[in-house]
């Protein structure tokens, strides 16, 4: 992973965190907007900067699993097993909180979300800081997550003074979230680590979140949405539909997994990788680019049904769902 972060940059970021200010930093999933998780005032600044309601809890990032005990109350065997296999990595565990975790971090719930990111810059930052960093994805509420430092600056401008540039995030979509606080491990948000991989570690089927599950803002409808309306279309119909929309005078953007660009005025065409890892890596950058093209509609080729596309389908379905106000 290439990055441009020096020891001095890390030292400065640590000073900023200790000062109760915000630091945007890379993880292997997406960029985070971080605050000292034990500093209530600092955590409030995260909500203010994002424009996110205070009852949407944040993930606490820590350097290693040893630090779980500083935040979690109980650590059940399922959580130990998942942490051992997938940390550092794109996995978040929801556990019973302990009494020291501020309500501002948990949205007042009796659980806390914890993650050990693997990105070398996140690791350096967490080790140098020593404590937990509460961080949501570094995007404004309701917008597409940021996968580069430039995207973070697009979202926040000067409002976030310290942005560590760790290059483009490897995975490109947010972490898999598993709630281990109840009787049965429950998938709250799909991510690059698939339910099948989790079940292989757990040895039992995963439950899937229902309405009674703790609130996950990322699962509200109309999340991860670009401003331009987005439609999922079967691959063989994209060109036909684009043609007919263009004929009606519409400006059309398309995100497709083939390099064969049809010749058509009024069409913005972005060729996405045909493999799930590549597609996820580029997804949010592509959605930003397509959104900025100022079209009337974005057509996205429907991804395959296979397991490794599960989280991508989830994000795209949310981006197309509902209408009206942005929720997250
Ligand atoms: O990949 C990621 O997870 C990125 C990087 C920066 O770590 N973070 C991220 O944070 O996506 P955010 O805040 O955008 O999404 C975290 C989700 C939210 O939907 C939140 O509601 C949920 O995790 N969450 C946090 N604490 C929770 C808890 N105690 N119980 C249930 N859900 C929780
Ligand atoms: Mg988010």
Whether 245 maps to a domain, the answer reads: yes
In the predicted structure, residue 223 carries a pLDDT above the cut 60: no
Q: Quick one: average pLDDT of 12-37?
A: 98
Provide the percentage of residues in the chain whose pLDDT is more than 90.
83
In the predicted structure, residue 221 carries a pLDDT above the cut 60: no
Ligand that comes closest to the CA of residue 175 = 1
| Whether residues 194 and 236 fall in one domain | no
pLDDT band at 216 (very low <50, low <70, confident <90, very high): low
State how many domains the chain has.
2
Whether 217 maps to a domain, the answer reads: no
Average pLDDT, rounded, for the chain = 92
| Whether residues 244 and 143 fall in one domain | no
Q: Quick one: average pLDDT of 290-317?
A: 95
CATH number, domain of 100, equals 3.90.870.10
Phi, psi angles (nearest 5°) of residue 32: -110, 155
Q: What is the C-alpha separation between 98 and 110, in angstroms, rounded?
A: 8
Whether 38 is in the pocket of ligand 1, judged by its Cβ within 6 Å, is no
Where does a domain end: 208, 239, 260?
A: 208
| Whether residues 251 and 108 fall in one domain | no
Please enumerate in sequence order all residues whose Cβ is within 8 A of that of 266, keeping only pairs 6 or more positions apart, or say none: 246, 250, 251, 252
| Whether residues 53 and 117 fall in one domain | yes
In the predicted structure, residue 211 carries a pLDDT above the cut 60: no
Where does a domain end: 208, 240, 261?
A: 208
Digit-coded pLDDT (tens) for 142-175: 889 999 999 999 999 999 989 999 999 999 999 9
For residue 138, the model assigns a pLDDT of: 97
Q: Residues lining ligand 2 (ion), CB within 5 A?
A: 137
| Whether residues 165 and 234 fall in one domain | no
In the predicted structure, residue 70 carries a pLDDT above the cut 90: yes
Whether 104 maps to a domain, the answer reads: yes
CA of 295 from ligand 1 middle (Å) equals: 31
| Whether residues 21 and 125 fall in one domain | yes
The token pair at 79 is: 């959580």
For residue 1, the model assigns a pLDDT of: 57
Whether 203 maps to a domain, the answer reads: yes
pLDDT band at 4 (very low <50, low <70, confident <90, very high): confident
| Whether residues 160 and 278 fall in one domain | no
CATH number, domain of 300, equals 3.40.50.11030
The token pair at 112 is: 């806390």
**Long-range contact set of residues 37-44: C-beta below 8 Å, sequence gap at least 24:** 37/71, 37/101, 37/102, 37/105, 37/131, 37/132, 37/133, 37/134, 38/100, 38/102, 38/131, 38/132, 40/102, 40/104, 42/17, 43/102, 43/104, 43/105, 43/134, 44/104
Q: How many Cβ atoms sit within 10 Å of the Cβ of residue 39?
A: 19
In the predicted structure, residue 27 carries a pLDDT above the cut 80: yes
Nearest one of 57, 61, 68 to 111, comparing CA atoms: 57
Q: Quick one: average pLDDT of 168-194?
A: 97
Give residue 271's domain range.
Answer: 230-327
| Whether residues 54 and 173 fall in one domain | yes
In the predicted structure, residue 86 carries a pLDDT above the cut 90: yes
Q: Quick one: average pLDDT of 195-221?
A: 75
| Whether residues 26 and 129 fall in one domain | yes
Q: Which of these ranges, 178-182, 196-200, 263-267, 315-319, has the smallest mean pLDDT?
A: 263-267
Whether 57 is in the pocket of ligand 1, judged by its Cβ within 6 Å, is yes
Digit-coded pLDDT (tens) for 89-98: 999 999 999 9
Whether 27 is in the pocket of ligand 1, judged by its Cβ within 6 Å, is yes
| Whether residues 143 and 23 fall in one domain | yes
| Whether residues 252 and 169 fall in one domain | no
CA 34, 40, 41, 44: dihedral to nearest 10 degrees? 60
Digit-coded pLDDT (tens) for 263-287: 888 899 999 999 999 999 999 999 9
| Whether residues 276 and 135 fall in one domain | no
Whether 29 is in the pocket of ligand 1, judged by its Cβ within 6 Å, is yes
In the predicted structure, residue 306 carries a pLDDT above the cut 50: yes
Digit-coded pLDDT (tens) for 39-59: 999 999 999 999 999 889 999
Q: Quick one: average pLDDT of 130-139?
A: 97
Whether 34 is in the pocket of ligand 1, judged by its Cβ within 6 Å, is no
Do 224 and 232 touch, CB atoms closer than 8 A? no
- Ligand 1 atom closest to the Cα of residue 109 is 29
Where does a domain end: 162, 178, 208?
A: 208
Phi, psi angles (nearest 5°) of residue 98: -105, 175
Ligand that comes closest to the CA of residue 59 = 1
pLDDT band at 261 (very low <50, low <70, confident <90, very high): confident
CA of 139 from ligand 2 middle (Å) equals: 7
Whether 109 maps to a domain, the answer reads: yes
Whether 214 maps to a domain, the answer reads: no
Whether 81 maps to a domain, the answer reads: yes
Q: Quick one: average pLDDT of 214-239?
A: 72
Ligand that comes closest to the CA of residue 57 = 1
In the predicted structure, residue 323 carries a pLDDT above the cut 60: no
- Ligand 1 atom closest to the Cα of residue 117 is 7
């Amino acid at each position: 992973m290439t990055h441009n972060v020096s020891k001095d940059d890390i030292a400065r970021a640590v000073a900023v965190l200790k000062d109760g200010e915000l630091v945007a930093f890379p993880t292997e999933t997406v960029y985070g907007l971080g605050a000292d998780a034990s500093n209530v005032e600092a955590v409030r600044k995260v909500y203010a900067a994002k424009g996110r309601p205070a009852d949407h809890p944040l993930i606490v990032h820590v350097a290693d699993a040893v630090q779980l005990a500083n935040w979690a109350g109980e650590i059940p065997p399922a959580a130990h097993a998942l942490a051992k296999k997938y940390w550092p990595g794109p996995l978040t565990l929801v556990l019973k909180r302990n009494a020291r975790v501020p309500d501002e971090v948990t949205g007042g719930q009796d659980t806390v979300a914890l993650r050990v990111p693997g990105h070398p810059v996140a690791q350096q930052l967490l080790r140098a800081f020593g404590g937990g960093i509460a961080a949501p994805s570094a995007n404004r509420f309701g917008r597409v997550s940021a996968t580069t430092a430039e995207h973070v600056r697009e979202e926040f401008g000067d409002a976030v003074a310290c942005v560590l540039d760790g290059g483009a995030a490897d995975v490109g979509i947010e972490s898999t979230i598993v709630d281990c606080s109840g009787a049965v491990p429950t998938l709250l948000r799909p991510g690059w680590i698939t339910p099948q991989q989790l079940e292989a570690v757990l040895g039992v089927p995963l439950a899937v979140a229902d309405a009674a599950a703790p609130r996950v803002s990322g699962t509200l409808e109309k999340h991860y949405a670009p401003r331009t309306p987005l439609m999922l279309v079967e691959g063989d119909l994209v060109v036909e539909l684009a043609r007919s929309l263009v004929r009606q005078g519409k400006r059309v953007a398309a995100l497709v997994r083939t390099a064969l660009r049809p010749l058509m005025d009024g069409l913005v065409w972005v060729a996405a990788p045909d493999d799930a890892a590549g597609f996820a890596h580029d997804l949010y950058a592509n959605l930003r680019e397509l959104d900025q093209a100022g079209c009337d509609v974005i057509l996205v080729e429907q991804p395959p049904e296979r397991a490794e596309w599960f989280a991508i389908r989830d994000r795209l379905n949310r981006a197309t769902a509902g209408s009206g106000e942005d929720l997250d």
